[in-house]
Amino acid sequence: MTDISIRDAHPGDLDTIAKVSIAAGQEEEWSGSDPAYVNHLLRHGRVVVAEHRGVMAGFGATRRIGDGPTAVTMLCDLFVDPRSHGLGIGQAMLAALWQAGTPRMTFSSLHAHALPLYARSGLDAWWPLLYLGGPVAAIPAPAGWEVAPVTAAQAGRLEREWTGTDRTADHQAWAGRPGGQPVKARRDGETLAAGTVAGTGTEYGIAHLALAPGCGDAEARDAVLAVLASLDPPGGRVRACLPAPHPATRPLLAAGWRNDYLDVFMATDPGLLDPRRAVPSPALA
């Protein structure tokens, strides 16, 4: 550990962060190899880099969701160059990014080192996040719903009114991605969901979706289906990352959609995300 140092990242680290991300298998839009994503975290979160004997060997990032003592620290990224595995670099970065005794959460990959590392940091595993994908044409579009474009500021305002948390900066960042467009979903003229769709290729779909308070399982299900059915992607396929217990999961699987991958929601408390209501961003929740 004496050969490891942790410091806050700065814009001059973007190229090296990208190299670590690519070495860890994360060469894609909206990952550590994407300057737009890392710059968003530099502005609105915290990014650290780990150096081993003077050479950058890893990076990690968090985003604070909410304010005050109930604010949740979301671990967005934690990657170590495979050549530096086993040196304690991930644990050292977590110690810098997470404060013990505070609400904390992340979506853990299935990497053999990931779950034990987060468990040692006080988190428990609660449910899988499914990376569902399939054809728009197969989605059972719910009757009485309509989806309309809005601005990032409007989507952020709706979410803040419903949850008390201001995610406007995140909606602006999602809207800046390829295919990015904030939307709202209404049933019989009443707005019940707001979020942003974004992404490239087969990753295009719902980036994040918030639900109005008081919505039940039917509304949570139909809001997701309505937004997905409204999309017109090249190739006709879209993506939704859903908690396995979410009410929209079953109809999508029944319609022939497939799960390509999964992460595990880990948190200090299971109530930090409601798996029957949340449609989270795997990176920013």
Of 276, 277, 263, 278, nearest to 75 by C-alpha is 263
Residue 6 has pLDDT above 70, yes or no: yes
pLDDT for res 195: 98
Q: What is the pLDDT of residues 52-106, one digit of tens each?
A: 988 899 999 999 999 988 899 999 999 999 998 888 999 999 999 999 899 999 9
Query: Do 95 and 88 meet the contact criterion of CB atoms below 8 Å apart?
Result: no
pLDDT for res 113: 87
Identity of the amino acid at 96: A
pLDDT for res 87: 87
Identity of the amino acid at 255: A
Q: CA 146, CA 94: separation in Å to the nearest integer?
A: 43
Q: What is the CATH topology of the domain spanning 4-102?
A: Aminopeptidase (3.40.630)
pLDDT for res 54: 86
pLDDT for res 2: 65
pLDDT for res 254: 97
Average pLDDT for 221-247: 97
**Burial of 262 from C-beta contacts in 10 A (0-12 / 13-18 / 19+):** middle
Average pLDDT, the chain: 95
Tracing tokens 């139909």 back to the chain, one arrives at 222
pLDDT for res 8: 97
Q: Where are the domains of the chain?
A: 4-102, 131-272
**Residue 174, by phi and psi: left (phi above 0), alpha (psi -120 to 50) or beta?**
alpha
Query: Do 32 and 48 meet the contact criterion of CB atoms below 8 Å apart?
Result: no
Average pLDDT for 184-194: 97
pLDDT for res 112: 86
Q: What is the pLDDT of residues 21-49, one digit of tens each?
A: 999 999 999 999 999 999 999 999 999 99
Residue 1 has pLDDT above 60, yes or no: no
Dihedral of CA 139/144/149/150: which sign?
negative
Please report the DSSP string for 144-193 in residue order: TEEEEE--HHHHHHHHHHHHS---HHHHHHHHTSTT-EEEEEEETTEEEE
**Burial of 253 from C-beta contacts in 10 A (0-12 / 13-18 / 19+):** middle
Of all residues in the chain, the percent with pLDDT exceeding 70 is 99
pLDDT for res 69: 87
Q: CA 204, CA 208: separation in Å to the nearest integer?
A: 12
What sections of the chain are H helices per DSSP? 14-23, 35-44, 89-97, 114-120, 152-163, 168-175, 217-229, 249-254
- Selecting from 3.30.70, 1.10.3470, 2.60.120, 3.40.630, what CATH number does the domain 131-272 have? 3.40.630
Query: Do 177 and 207 meet the contact criterion of CB atoms below 8 Å apart?
Result: yes
